[in-house]
Amino acid sequence: MNWIEAVILGLVQGLTEFLPISSSAHLRVVGEFLPGAADPGAGFTAITQIGTELAVLLYFWADITRIIAQWCRALVGKVPHSDPDVRIGWLIIIGSIPIGVLGLLFEESIDTRFRSLWLVATMLIVFAVILAMADTWGKQLKPMRRLNWRDGILYGLAQALALIPGVSRSGGTITMGLALGYTRQAAARYAFLLAVPAVFASGFYKLAKAVASPDPTAAYGMGETIIATAVAFVIGYAVIAWLMRFISRNSFKVFVWYRILLGAGLYVLLGLGVINA
Protein backbone atom coordinates (compact mmCIF):
# COMPACT_ATOMS: atom_id res chain seq x y z
CA MET A 1 0.00 0.00 0.00
CA ASN A 2 2.87 2.41 0.72
CA TRP A 3 3.97 2.18 -2.92
CA ILE A 4 0.53 3.24 -4.12
CA GLU A 5 0.49 6.09 -1.64
CA ALA A 6 3.94 7.20 -2.82
CA VAL A 7 2.72 7.30 -6.42
CA ILE A 8 -0.29 9.39 -5.36
CA LEU A 9 1.94 11.80 -3.46
CA GLY A 10 4.29 12.00 -6.46
CA LEU A 11 1.32 12.95 -8.63
CA VAL A 12 0.32 15.60 -6.11
CA GLN A 13 3.86 16.99 -5.98
CA GLY A 14 4.12 17.15 -9.76
CA LEU A 15 0.69 18.74 -10.17
CA THR A 16 1.14 21.41 -7.51
CA GLU A 17 4.84 22.35 -7.37
CA PHE A 18 4.69 24.96 -10.13
CA LEU A 19 1.19 26.26 -9.54
CA PRO A 20 0.91 29.05 -6.93
CA ILE A 21 -1.05 26.81 -4.56
CA SER A 22 1.72 25.27 -2.38
CA SER A 23 2.86 21.71 -3.10
CA SER A 24 4.04 21.22 0.50
CA ALA A 25 0.56 22.13 1.75
CA HIS A 26 -1.04 19.63 -0.62
CA LEU A 27 1.34 16.84 0.35
CA ARG A 28 0.63 17.61 4.00
CA VAL A 29 -3.16 17.55 3.47
CA VAL A 30 -3.34 14.56 1.12
CA GLY A 31 -1.21 12.54 3.53
CA GLU A 32 -3.99 12.88 6.11
CA PHE A 33 -6.49 11.17 3.79
CA LEU A 34 -4.34 8.24 2.70
CA PRO A 35 -4.80 4.88 4.49
CA GLY A 36 -1.75 5.51 6.67
CA ALA A 37 -3.12 8.95 7.61
CA ALA A 38 0.41 10.28 8.15
CA ASP A 39 2.28 13.49 7.40
CA PRO A 40 4.76 12.56 4.59
CA GLY A 41 7.27 14.82 6.34
CA ALA A 42 9.48 17.72 5.30
CA GLY A 43 12.24 15.32 4.18
CA PHE A 44 9.94 13.43 1.81
CA THR A 45 8.67 16.75 0.44
CA ALA A 46 12.17 18.14 -0.14
CA ILE A 47 13.43 14.98 -1.85
CA THR A 48 10.44 14.66 -4.20
CA GLN A 49 10.99 18.28 -5.22
CA ILE A 50 14.24 17.10 -6.84
CA GLY A 51 12.02 15.43 -9.42
CA THR A 52 10.11 18.58 -10.23
CA GLU A 53 13.31 20.63 -10.42
CA LEU A 54 14.72 18.15 -12.92
CA ALA A 55 11.64 19.00 -14.98
CA VAL A 56 12.62 22.68 -14.73
CA LEU A 57 16.13 21.86 -15.96
CA LEU A 58 14.72 20.04 -18.95
CA TYR A 59 12.04 22.60 -19.86
CA PHE A 60 14.27 25.68 -19.42
CA TRP A 61 17.47 24.00 -20.60
CA ALA A 62 18.19 26.64 -23.24
CA ASP A 63 17.75 29.50 -20.73
CA ILE A 64 19.80 27.78 -18.02
CA THR A 65 22.73 26.84 -20.26
CA ARG A 66 22.79 30.32 -21.82
CA ILE A 67 22.82 32.04 -18.41
CA ILE A 68 25.56 29.74 -17.09
CA ALA A 69 27.65 30.19 -20.24
CA GLN A 70 27.38 33.98 -20.19
CA TRP A 71 28.11 34.09 -16.44
CA CYS A 72 31.26 32.01 -16.92
CA ARG A 73 32.40 34.18 -19.85
CA ALA A 74 31.94 37.27 -17.71
CA LEU A 75 34.24 35.80 -15.05
CA VAL A 76 37.09 35.63 -17.56
CA GLY A 77 36.32 39.04 -19.08
CA LYS A 78 34.84 37.85 -22.37
CA VAL A 79 31.38 39.29 -21.66
CA PRO A 80 30.56 42.55 -19.83
CA HIS A 81 29.00 42.18 -16.39
CA SER A 82 26.17 44.43 -17.56
CA ASP A 83 24.93 41.63 -19.82
CA PRO A 84 21.35 40.69 -18.71
CA ASP A 85 22.13 36.96 -18.56
CA VAL A 86 25.20 37.60 -16.42
CA ARG A 87 23.18 39.77 -14.07
CA ILE A 88 20.43 37.14 -13.85
CA GLY A 89 23.06 34.50 -13.05
CA TRP A 90 24.40 36.55 -10.15
CA LEU A 91 20.89 37.34 -8.91
CA ILE A 92 19.92 33.65 -8.89
CA ILE A 93 22.99 32.97 -6.70
CA ILE A 94 22.31 35.91 -4.37
CA GLY A 95 18.56 35.29 -4.33
CA SER A 96 19.13 31.73 -3.14
CA ILE A 97 20.98 32.83 -0.01
CA PRO A 98 17.97 33.92 2.14
CA ILE A 99 16.08 30.63 1.81
CA GLY A 100 19.29 28.64 2.37
CA VAL A 101 20.26 30.51 5.54
CA LEU A 102 16.74 30.60 6.98
CA GLY A 103 16.17 26.97 6.06
CA LEU A 104 19.16 25.89 8.13
CA LEU A 105 18.39 28.24 11.03
CA PHE A 106 14.76 27.16 11.31
CA GLU A 107 15.10 23.55 10.16
CA GLU A 108 13.53 22.10 13.31
CA SER A 109 10.52 24.43 13.16
CA ILE A 110 10.08 23.77 9.43
CA ASP A 111 10.05 20.03 10.10
CA THR A 112 7.58 20.33 13.00
CA ARG A 113 5.65 23.44 14.06
CA PHE A 114 5.40 25.01 10.60
CA ARG A 115 3.57 21.91 9.36
CA SER A 116 0.49 22.59 11.49
CA LEU A 117 -2.58 22.51 9.27
CA TRP A 118 -3.96 25.55 11.07
CA LEU A 119 -0.94 27.51 9.85
CA VAL A 120 -1.19 25.95 6.38
CA ALA A 121 -4.85 26.98 6.05
CA THR A 122 -4.08 30.51 7.19
CA MET A 123 -1.18 30.94 4.76
CA LEU A 124 -3.25 29.60 1.87
CA ILE A 125 -5.86 32.30 2.39
CA VAL A 126 -3.54 35.19 3.32
CA PHE A 127 -1.29 34.71 0.31
CA ALA A 128 -4.28 34.18 -1.96
CA VAL A 129 -5.32 37.72 -1.14
CA ILE A 130 -1.79 39.06 -1.67
CA LEU A 131 -1.51 37.24 -5.02
CA ALA A 132 -4.87 38.67 -6.11
CA MET A 133 -3.73 42.20 -5.26
CA ALA A 134 -0.43 41.83 -7.13
CA ASP A 135 -2.09 40.23 -10.16
CA THR A 136 -4.75 42.96 -10.30
CA TRP A 137 -2.65 46.06 -9.64
CA GLY A 138 0.77 45.05 -10.95
CA LYS A 139 1.74 46.93 -14.12
CA GLN A 140 2.94 43.74 -15.87
CA LEU A 141 5.21 45.59 -18.27
CA LYS A 142 8.75 44.42 -17.53
CA PRO A 143 10.36 41.38 -19.25
CA MET A 144 12.74 39.13 -17.31
CA ARG A 145 15.82 40.71 -18.95
CA ARG A 146 15.05 43.98 -17.12
CA LEU A 147 15.58 42.29 -13.75
CA ASN A 148 17.75 44.52 -11.57
CA TRP A 149 19.62 44.03 -8.30
CA ARG A 150 16.87 45.43 -6.06
CA ASP A 151 14.20 43.27 -7.66
CA GLY A 152 16.41 40.18 -7.58
CA ILE A 153 17.01 40.55 -3.85
CA LEU A 154 13.28 41.06 -3.22
CA TYR A 155 12.57 37.94 -5.28
CA GLY A 156 14.99 36.01 -3.05
CA LEU A 157 13.30 37.23 0.13
CA ALA A 158 9.89 36.26 -1.28
CA GLN A 159 11.17 32.78 -2.09
CA ALA A 160 12.25 32.33 1.54
CA LEU A 161 8.60 32.62 2.62
CA ALA A 162 8.04 29.23 0.96
CA LEU A 163 9.66 27.62 4.00
CA ILE A 164 6.19 27.92 5.53
CA PRO A 165 3.82 25.33 3.98
CA GLY A 166 0.84 27.06 2.46
CA VAL A 167 2.74 30.06 1.10
CA SER A 168 4.01 28.34 -2.09
CA ARG A 169 7.49 28.83 -3.51
CA SER A 170 6.18 29.72 -6.96
CA GLY A 171 3.27 31.67 -5.43
CA GLY A 172 5.51 33.83 -3.26
CA THR A 173 8.04 34.63 -5.98
CA ILE A 174 5.45 35.11 -8.74
CA THR A 175 3.50 37.46 -6.45
CA MET A 176 6.64 39.50 -5.84
CA GLY A 177 7.36 39.62 -9.57
CA LEU A 178 3.86 40.85 -10.35
CA ALA A 179 4.06 43.46 -7.58
CA LEU A 180 7.35 44.70 -9.05
CA GLY A 181 5.74 45.18 -12.47
CA TYR A 182 6.94 42.12 -14.38
CA THR A 183 4.72 40.32 -16.87
CA ARG A 184 3.05 37.11 -15.75
CA GLN A 185 5.32 35.04 -18.00
CA ALA A 186 8.46 36.82 -16.78
CA ALA A 187 7.45 36.51 -13.13
CA ALA A 188 6.79 32.78 -13.49
CA ARG A 189 9.87 32.10 -15.61
CA TYR A 190 12.24 33.73 -13.14
CA ALA A 191 10.47 32.11 -10.18
CA PHE A 192 11.18 28.68 -11.69
CA LEU A 193 14.82 29.49 -12.47
CA LEU A 194 15.43 31.01 -9.03
CA ALA A 195 14.11 27.87 -7.34
CA VAL A 196 16.64 25.53 -8.98
CA PRO A 197 19.65 26.03 -6.64
CA ALA A 198 17.57 26.18 -3.45
CA VAL A 199 15.43 23.13 -4.23
CA PHE A 200 18.35 20.98 -5.32
CA ALA A 201 20.36 22.02 -2.26
CA SER A 202 17.45 21.27 0.08
CA GLY A 203 16.54 18.02 -1.66
CA PHE A 204 20.06 16.57 -1.72
CA TYR A 205 20.69 17.75 1.84
CA LYS A 206 17.61 15.87 3.05
CA LEU A 207 18.52 12.90 0.84
CA ALA A 208 22.01 12.72 2.35
CA LYS A 209 20.56 12.85 5.86
CA ALA A 210 18.03 10.13 5.03
CA VAL A 211 20.74 7.85 3.63
CA ALA A 212 23.20 8.51 6.47
CA SER A 213 20.65 8.23 9.28
CA PRO A 214 17.42 6.53 8.18
CA ASP A 215 14.42 7.57 10.28
CA PRO A 216 12.57 4.42 11.41
CA THR A 217 9.46 6.52 12.10
CA ALA A 218 9.32 8.03 8.58
CA ALA A 219 6.04 7.39 6.79
CA TYR A 220 7.82 6.36 3.56
CA GLY A 221 11.09 4.57 2.92
CA MET A 222 13.74 5.51 0.37
CA GLY A 223 12.34 3.23 -2.33
CA GLU A 224 8.90 4.79 -2.11
CA THR A 225 10.39 8.29 -2.01
CA ILE A 226 12.34 7.61 -5.22
CA ILE A 227 9.17 6.36 -6.94
CA ALA A 228 7.33 9.51 -5.88
CA THR A 229 10.22 11.66 -7.15
CA ALA A 230 10.16 9.99 -10.57
CA VAL A 231 6.40 10.47 -10.88
CA ALA A 232 6.76 14.12 -9.82
CA PHE A 233 9.33 14.69 -12.60
CA VAL A 234 7.05 13.44 -15.39
CA ILE A 235 3.93 15.24 -14.18
CA GLY A 236 5.87 18.39 -13.28
CA TYR A 237 7.20 18.80 -16.81
CA ALA A 238 3.68 18.63 -18.24
CA VAL A 239 2.43 21.16 -15.69
CA ILE A 240 5.18 23.68 -16.52
CA ALA A 241 4.30 23.52 -20.22
CA TRP A 242 0.60 23.95 -19.45
CA LEU A 243 1.08 26.81 -16.98
CA MET A 244 3.30 28.88 -19.29
CA ARG A 245 0.62 28.64 -21.99
CA PHE A 246 -2.21 29.33 -19.52
CA ILE A 247 -0.78 32.53 -18.05
CA SER A 248 -0.05 33.93 -21.50
CA ARG A 249 -3.82 34.33 -21.89
CA ASN A 250 -5.24 34.25 -18.37
CA SER A 251 -4.79 35.79 -14.93
CA PHE A 252 -4.00 33.95 -11.68
CA LYS A 253 -7.58 34.43 -10.45
CA VAL A 254 -8.47 30.73 -10.62
CA PHE A 255 -5.56 29.90 -8.29
CA VAL A 256 -6.57 32.68 -5.90
CA TRP A 257 -10.07 31.24 -5.50
CA TYR A 258 -8.74 27.70 -5.23
CA ARG A 259 -6.42 28.71 -2.39
CA ILE A 260 -9.23 30.46 -0.53
CA LEU A 261 -11.61 27.51 -0.90
CA LEU A 262 -8.93 25.02 0.15
CA GLY A 263 -7.95 27.10 3.18
CA ALA A 264 -11.58 27.53 4.22
CA GLY A 265 -12.21 23.82 3.72
CA LEU A 266 -9.25 22.98 5.95
CA TYR A 267 -10.63 25.25 8.69
CA VAL A 268 -13.94 23.37 8.54
CA LEU A 269 -12.32 19.91 8.57
CA LEU A 270 -10.03 20.89 11.44
CA GLY A 271 -12.88 22.45 13.39
CA LEU A 272 -15.01 19.33 12.99
CA GLY A 273 -12.13 17.08 13.99
CA VAL A 274 -12.13 15.23 10.66
CA ILE A 275 -8.36 15.73 10.33
CA ASN A 276 -5.67 16.48 12.88
CA ALA A 277 -3.60 19.66 12.79
- Three-state secondary structure of 205-248: HHHHHHHHCCCCCCCCCHHHHHHHHHHHHHHHHHHHHHHHHHCC
- How distant is the alpha carbon of residue 129 from its chain centre? 18
Give the dihedral of Cα atoms 65, 67, 68, 71; nearest 10 deg: 150
pLDDT digits (tens, 9 = 90+) for 2-18: 788 888 889 999 999 89
List Cβ neighbours of 51 (8 Å cut-off, separation of 6 or more): 10, 13, 14, 228, 229, 230, 231, 232, 233, 236
Mean pLDDT computed over every residue of the chain: 88
More confident residue, 233 or 27: 233
pLDDT for 63 equals 95
The model's pTM: 0.88
pLDDT for 193 equals 95
List Cβ neighbours of 243 (8 Å cut-off, separation of 6 or more): 18, 19, 188
Do 257 and 78 form a contact (C-beta atoms < 8 A)? no
Would you give the DSSP letter of residue 161? G
Do 17 and 194 form a contact (C-beta atoms < 8 A)? no
Give the dihedral of Cα atoms 28, 29, 35, 40; nearest 10 deg: 0
pLDDT digits (tens, 9 = 90+) for 83-114: 999 999 999 999 999 998 998 888 787 767 77
pLDDT digits (tens, 9 = 90+) for 214-266: 665 565 677 888 888 999 999 999 999 999 999 999 999 999 999 999 999 99
Collapse the DSSP code of 142 into the 3-class scheme (helix H, G, I; strand E, B; otherwise coil) and give the result.
strand
pLDDT for 83 equals 92
pLDDT digits (tens, 9 = 90+) for 134-179: 999 998 999 999 999 999 999 999 999 988 888 888 999 999 999 9
> What type of residue sits at position 16?
T
